Amino acid sequence: MAPKRQNSPSRKASVKGKGKVKKNQPPSPKEKPDHPDDIYPIVLTTATQELFECCIDEDVTDQSPYKLLKKDDIIQDIKTRAAVSDFHPVKQFVLDYPEDEILLVFDVDFTYGQSFYLVLTPEAKARIYNVLQPPQPEIIEVLEDDVSKTPEPKPWISLGSELEVDQESVKETREKLCYKFYLKRRPGLPVCFSDRNSTEAECRSVECPSYQDSRFSIKRMQRDCGMQAVPRLQSSTTQTQRAFQRNIFTQYEPRELSKKEKERILSSENLRKFLNSVTPRVLHALQQTHIMNVFTDDFKALGIGAEASDRLVMVSEGLKLQWTFTDEKRAMGNKISSVSWHPTIHGLIAVAFIKKQEEQLDKSTAYINSPAFIVFYGFPDQSNPRLLLECPDDIFAFEFCPSNPNVIVGGCRNGKVVLWDISFHAPHLQGTQPNSKKGSDSDSDTDTFDFDKKENKTPVMRYCAVSSIESSHKSPVTDVQWLPKTFEVTRTGVPVQNNSNISVQVVTCSPDCTVMFWDLRVPKLQNQFLADRKQDVDQKTMMTPYSIPKTFKHLDRTWKPLFRVSLPKSDTSGEYAPLKFSLEHYTCNSNTGRNTDNENDVAEVLPEYSQLRIPSAKTLRTLDDVNTKFYIGTEEGEIVYTDWKLEEDEFERKFSAKPLLCFRTHAWFVNTMQRSPFFKDILLTTGGWNFAIWKEGVMGGPIFVGPSSEQEYSAACWSLSRPAVFFIGRNDGSIEVWNLLLNTSESTHFHEHIASTRITCIKPCIASSKQHYLAVADNLGMLRVFSVPKTLRSPVKNEDLNMQIFFDREHDRLKDYLEWEEQWAKQRKEAGESKKQVEPDKPVTFQVDSEEADLKEYSDYLKLEESILE
């Protein structure tokens, strides 16, 4: 049916109503009154289109012209817009519409005369909607009453695989046979059913296994087999060398030309040309160097350097303080009486402390006080001593034995002489650390030993032997010295040969006016007790740190001196009170075969002192060339030169000889007497406020007396490396360095206030060629070690020769002076006598004249002295 456009008043109405009619309205109103009744063409304004979402070309297009509108919405629109609504003319139809949704179709071709038409009846809607749907198959509208189509299977196209499928399929060729077995039984009997396992042997199940029938065989025509490609795998390992190879050693030889080659080259023309061309240059250079050395250092060649800088040196380059040793426990309130360097162990120094006792009211209290010690200090530990030696009383002087540095002899305040043996601690002392573990001497006691060490305690060593009280000195022993191992002394003081080649004898002196000689060996008289003692001593006893070494057990408390030397005064009665003494060191000039043998034996083995006996005087050879005279410095400042050999008087009693000379050079105590290490007959003494130099054999007096200083001199020592230098310590703690070649009237260096109190002892030591140390001890218990600078330790050229010349000169001067004095004394005597004879009346004028003459002569002498000294 052809839709016809209706000449509708609605169209007009819509044109009238709304001016804006979207889209192209065909202007030619075709008069088509025919249209089916259920199609109602309608015009929708833009607003309505938007309202119902059926805008042309947006919601509703050519391809999808259908729009279902809800009936309620239309009714609502009619209500709201009343007559203006586009749906007004169809109001009735809409209200009557049975279904909820009305189909609105966009009429593109204007088949019914309007752009839209409304389908009024559901049948028409169904008809139109469904008919018009199929030509547009791409519109897939999911409608509620639409049935989804299931995909239909396509017809199967055979490709020839049916045959194979048929072949493979298993079909029954015949019908299955069925057999029925039954057993007749009477009904009614009870029945028993049970299970039975078919695998059990009891059950009689019959199997029909398959078997290969030999009557007939089937040839296998075709066999199915499967193939799989497998890659061939092979696993193997390899290891690279991790170590980087490098050469450890290479040995090579220099390349050399064969003889033939050499000859060939040598005879070649090339070489000749070369030599010819090169020779002039070389000759030129050779002559140049020969003529003059352009590289000489003129300044160096002058030889000033450090040696001649004595005059140039600044005061600042003096003694440098290296170490200060104090020990709070023992040094408080104590002064150092004596200092000694260990002769062999470098860096070890021993210090003896004595207590300052202002009041000596109660001597017994001295024993209640803490015991005195000799303290060993070692570099570089400044506060922990290495070893302590326990002493019965304050030690005023001590010394190491020169042949065995483990034996130490000391003199006490109470006059006793004490011996120590530190061989047990010797390895410990040599270690750099006080706690270092050295090869143990004691095997079983290492535990206690280690325990002590771990506690960081300084080992304490008790004294081995002490002299008997009756035979000791009565006043403090102020000087102790070992006799050198070259000779020994008998009971009468006669020096004899020392067969044992070790130092066995000690000399002590004390202000009780005696000098005693002691011997370390077992005296002859105790032979009967030797058998017992021998057994005691022969046992090798294990040493514990607290036990006393038995080295000198034979001397303990029974030690008596060999003999005593008393010092009677020469012109008056009374005796000298020696403070210090000085022996001449004797070096054995004649060595017999016996001596050298002994030397070899004894040198390695430390002697057992208890085994040694004092030989009888007759067996030993007397040494006549030993100088038995020695110098003594006394309490009053006198220097006495006497002989220690005991002489016999008419009653064959031994007595000491009168001194050979005595000089009162010093004003007060003589505190140092020391021989020069370079000249064995030159002696330095200090005491009071000056020092003096003596030459042995010169009886006239000291060959040189230093000027008096304002401070008391308390200690002195020669320099060990320079013959002209010596150090003097003063009461105010300063040190003066004297160089006799430079200046004889004053010290060359003056180090003020090195210590705060009186310096009690100065000792030098040479550690190595570059290290010279000076140990300075003071009254407060502090020990300072200084290093001697190069200027003071390296001798100037020919210093010893110059010193010798100096001493000889002084000697000559002294001789001249003495002669002059004699002459002058003689002259005076003569003048006095002649005066007595001639004119006893005019004694005064003559006296005056002679006095004037004296003065003149004296001034002449002074001038002479000055001129010589320059």
Partner 1 sequence: MTEFSLLSPIQGQKGVQGIIVANSEGIPIKSTLDNSSTVQYAGLIHQLVMKARSTIRDIDPQNDLTFMRVRSKKNEIMIAPDKDFFLIVIQNPSD
With CB under 8 A as the contact rule, the residue among 15, 95, 108, 278 that binds partner 1 is: 278
β 387-391/460-461 pair status:
parallel
Q: Which residues contact 184 (CB under 8 A, 6 or more apart)?
A: none
Among the candidate windows 63-71, 259-267, 565-573, 809-817, which touches partner 1 by CB under 8 A?
259-267
Among the candidate windows 183-191, 267-275, 486-494, 710-718, which touches partner 1 by CB under 8 A?
267-275
Q: Does 291 bind partner 1 (CB under 8 A)?
A: yes
With CB under 8 A as the contact rule, the residue among 267, 360, 528, 535 that binds partner 1 is: 267
Rg (CA), the chain: 70
Q: Does 257 bind partner 1 (CB under 8 A)?
A: yes
With CB under 8 A as the contact rule, the residue among 176, 185, 255, 454 that binds partner 1 is: 255
With CB under 8 A as the contact rule, the residue among 108, 139, 275, 869 that binds partner 1 is: 275
Q: Does 298 bind partner 1 (CB under 8 A)?
A: no
What residues are paired with 736 via a beta bridge? 728, 750
Identify which of residues 241 and 276 has a Cβ nearer to partner 1 in the complex. 276
Q: CA 326 to CA 398: how far, in whole Å?
A: 19
**Count of residues near partner 1 by CB under 8 A:** 30
Q: Which of these, 563, 573, 569, lies nearest to 658 by C-alpha position?
A: 569
Q: How far is the CB of 246 from partner 1 (least distance, A)?
A: 23
Identify which of residues 83 and 292 has a Cβ nearer to partner 1 in the complex. 292
With CB under 8 A as the contact rule, the residue among 237, 241, 270, 364 that binds partner 1 is: 270
With CB under 8 A as the contact rule, the residue among 293, 364, 573, 587 that binds partner 1 is: 293
Q: Does 286 bind partner 1 (CB under 8 A)?
A: yes
Q: CA 669 to CA 636: how far, in whole Å?
A: 6
Q: How far is the CB of 660 from partner 1 (least distance, A)?
A: 56
Identify which of residues 218 and 266 has a Cβ nearer to partner 1 in the complex. 266
Identify which of residues 244 and 252 has a Cβ nearer to partner 1 in the complex. 252
Q: How far is the CB of 276 from partner 1 (least distance, A)?
A: 7
Binding mask 319-338 for partner 1 (x = CB under 8 A): --------------------
Are 522 and 553 in contact by the 8 Å Cβ rule? The answer is: no
Which amino acid appears at position 19 of this protein?
Answer: G
With CB under 8 A as the contact rule, the residue among 82, 139, 285, 868 that binds partner 1 is: 285
Q: How far is the CB of 273 from partner 1 (least distance, A)?
A: 9
Identify which of residues 279 and 622 has a Cβ nearer to partner 1 in the complex. 279
Q: Does 302 bind partner 1 (CB under 8 A)?
A: no
CB atoms within 10 A of CB 348: 21
Are 614 and 521 in contact by the 8 Å Cβ rule? The answer is: yes
SS (H, E, C) 489-546: ECCCCCEEECCCCCCCEEEEEECCCEEEEEECCECHHHHHHHHHHHHHHHCCCCCCCC
Identify which of residues 220 and 284 has a Cβ nearer to partner 1 in the complex. 284
Among the candidate windows 265-273, 706-714, 718-726, 749-757, which touches partner 1 by CB under 8 A?
265-273
Q: Which of residues 6-35 bind partner 1 (CB under 8 A)?
A: none
E strand or H helix at 729, and its extent? Answer: strand 725-730
Question: Which residue in the block uniquely carries the two structure tokens 């048929």?
Answer: 166
b (16+ CB within 10 A) / e for 233-264: eeeeeeeeeeeeeeeeeeeeeeeeeeeeeeee
Q: How far is the CB of 306 from partner 1 (least distance, A)?
A: 20
Q: Which of residues 235-254 bind partner 1 (CB under 8 A)?
A: 254
β 783-787/320-325 pair status:
antiparallel
Instruction: For 631-674, give the DSSP string.
Output: EEEETTSEEEEEE-SEEE-TT--EEEPPPSEEEE--SS-EEEEE
Q: Does 296 bind partner 1 (CB under 8 A)?
A: yes
Identify which of residues 199 and 296 has a Cβ nearer to partner 1 in the complex. 296
Q: CA 200 to CA 424: how far, in whole Å?
A: 100
Q: Does 283 bind partner 1 (CB under 8 A)?
A: yes
Q: CA 53 to CA 129: how far, in whole Å?
A: 19
Structure tokens at 669: 């105590």
Among the candidate windows 9-17, 283-291, 322-330, 855-863, which touches partner 1 by CB under 8 A?
283-291
Binding residues for partner 1 (CB under 8 A) = 254-257, 262, 265-267, 270-272, 274-279, 281-283, 285-287, 289-293, 295-296
